[in-house]
Amino acid sequence: MKNLKPLIAALALGAVSLGSASIASAKTVEIVMKAQETEVAIDNAGTKYAGWTFDGSIPGKIVRVTEGDIVDFTLVNPAENKESHSMDFHAAEVDVLGEFAPVKPGESKHFKFVAKRAGVWMYHCGASPMVQHIARGMFGLIIVDPKEGYSKNFPKPDREYVLIQSQFFPNADDYKAMLANEGWTNSLINGKIFHYDPVHDPKATKALVAKPGERVRIYFANANVNLPVALHPIAGIWDKVFINGNPKNVLHDIATYNVAVSEAGIFDIVSPADKPTNNAIVDHAMSAALRGAITVLMNTPDADPGMGKGEQMLLR
Ligand SMILES: [Cu+2]
């Protein structure tokens, strides 16, 4: 294989000198994450839970790149951890036994991949038992924006929010129960029960906000270990659903979309422009909704202009 390297390098240089748009604009995005076995708050009251996390919070940080970019990734597993951990980016086409292999405590792993396909993709730890590493909180989202940018069919949103749903198993050690789907008591949205639902939890201090008539783009991922999500915006209709977040995979006028375990996608909602309204974005499976999977979206003229933009895409 070694003798191929000069050839590959030459081809790569050739591509650059030709000035191909995708190569010329492609950038390398360096991402470092640290596996942290640490306590996290799993509800708005601050109830502690023995989480396993990327960088100390559930979910891990949003990774956002543009189609064609190189993701230069390092996973650090500090020596104080007890478990091996790993990284599985669904946006990557690599070797499950290579790039995605487990990393022991005290070690780290570095790999690169080209984000060749636009979309919205879950990432997660894949170390054994995977069910436990995901259930305890080791997941997040990578957004690969299309290199063509926005278009008539893929309109620019006014606000963007990330919502990641997961199942909460209070007994963090019983991975056999997790496999059997037994003992899960609640659903988490971005790591907390009723995170953005002051109706069902008076301790909730945050909700999604927008102005009437704005296009709100929800980047949703199903990080449940076993259950699909029936994603529905109560008192609204998904104007567009982009399956897997790719502009080519567009659906129109959808009430409920079934999101498979590990699936992620884009869900656009546009509220009536002529009056203030509220939506409740739910998993219409009641066992999940009434155990935490409800998110309030308030459409009011005085909506904070900074919400749903930049760092305020993922409300901690
Ligand atoms: Cu892990």
Q: How far is the CA of 234 from the centre of ligand 1 (A)?
A: 35
What protein residues have CB closer than 5 angstroms to ion ligand 1?
85, 125, 127, 133, 138
Mean pLDDT value across residues 208-214: 98
Q: How far is the CA of 38 from the centre of ligand 1 (A)?
A: 12
**pLDDT greater than 60 at residue 3:** no
Q: Are strands 28-41 and 70-77 parallel, antiparallel or unpaired?
A: parallel
Q: Are strands 159-168 and 215-222 parallel, antiparallel or unpaired?
A: parallel
Q: How far is the CA of 139 from the centre of ligand 1 (A)?
A: 9
Q: What is the pLDDT of residue 14?
A: 37
- Residue 6 CA to residue 9 CA, distance in Å, equals 5
- The structure tokens listed for 96 are 């499950």
Q: How far is the CA of 4 from the centre of ligand 1 (A)?
A: 35
- Residue 257 CA to residue 244 CA, distance in Å, equals 12
Q: Give yes or no for a contact between 251 and 268, defined as CB atoms under 8 angstroms apart.
A: no
Q: How far is the CA of 98 from the centre of ligand 1 (A)?
A: 16
- Residue 254 CA to residue 251 CA, distance in Å, equals 7
Residues sharing a CB contact under 8 Å with residue 173, sequence separation 6 or more, in sequence order: none
Q: Tell me how far the alpha carbon of residue 64 is from its chain's centroid.
A: 10
Where residue 265 falls (left for φ over 0; alpha for ψ -120 to 50; beta otherwise) is beta
**pLDDT greater than 70 at residue 110:** yes
Q: How far is the CA of 163 from the centre of ligand 1 (A)?
A: 21
Mean pLDDT value across residues 148-162: 97
Q: What is the pLDDT of residue 6?
A: 45
Q: Give yes or no for a contact between 25 and 147, defined as CB atoms under 8 angstroms apart.
A: yes
Q: Give yes or no for a contact between 177 and 161, defined as CB atoms under 8 angstroms apart.
A: no
- Residue 305 CA to residue 312 CA, distance in Å, equals 10
**pLDDT greater than 50 at residue 141:** yes
- Residue 306 CA to residue 239 CA, distance in Å, equals 23
Q: What is the pLDDT of residue 25?
A: 75
More confident residue, 9 or 76: 76
Mean pLDDT value across residues 143-157: 97
Q: Give yes or no for a contact between 53 and 135, defined as CB atoms under 8 angstroms apart.
A: no
Q: What is the pLDDT of residue 26?
A: 85
Q: How far is the CA of 20 from the centre of ligand 1 (A)?
A: 39
pLDDT digits (tens, 9 = 90+) for 260-270: 999 999 999 99
Q: Give yes or no for a contact between 76 and 35, defined as CB atoms under 8 angstroms apart.
A: yes
High-pLDDT (> 70) share of the chain, %: 92
Q: How far is the CA of 50 from the centre of ligand 1 (A)?
A: 13
Q: How far is the CA of 86 from the centre of ligand 1 (A)?
A: 6
E strand or H helix that includes residue 250? strand 250-254
Q: How far is the CA of 194 from the centre of ligand 1 (A)?
A: 25
Q: How far is the CA of 283 from the centre of ligand 1 (A)?
A: 26
Q: Tell me how far the alpha carbon of residue 164 is from its chain's centroid.
A: 6
Q: Which residues of 35-53 are buried (b: 16+ CB within 10 A; e: fewer)?
A: bbbbebebbbeeeebebbb
- Residue 56 exposed, middle or buried by CB count within 10 Å (0-12, 13-18, 19+): middle
Q: How far is the CA of 138 from the centre of ligand 1 (A)?
A: 6
- Domains parsed from the chain with CATH numbers: 27-145 (2.60.40.420), 159-313 (2.60.40.420)
Q: How far is the CA of 126 from the centre of ligand 1 (A)?
A: 6
pLDDT digits (tens, 9 = 90+) for 12-61: 443 343 434 445 578 999 999 999 999 999 999 999 999 999 999 999 99
Residues sharing a CB contact under 8 Å with residue 128, sequence separation 6 or more, in sequence order: 84, 102
- Residue 194 CA to residue 198 CA, distance in Å, equals 8
Angle at 122 between CA 195 and CA 84, to 5 degrees: 95
Average model confidence (pLDDT) across the chain:
94
Q: How far is the CA of 39 from the centre of ligand 1 (A)?
A: 14
**pLDDT greater than 70 at residue 9:** no
Q: What is the pLDDT of residue 7?
A: 43
High-pLDDT (> 90) share of the chain, %: 92
Q: How far is the CA of 300 from the centre of ligand 1 (A)?
A: 40
Q: Which amino acid is at 286?
A: M
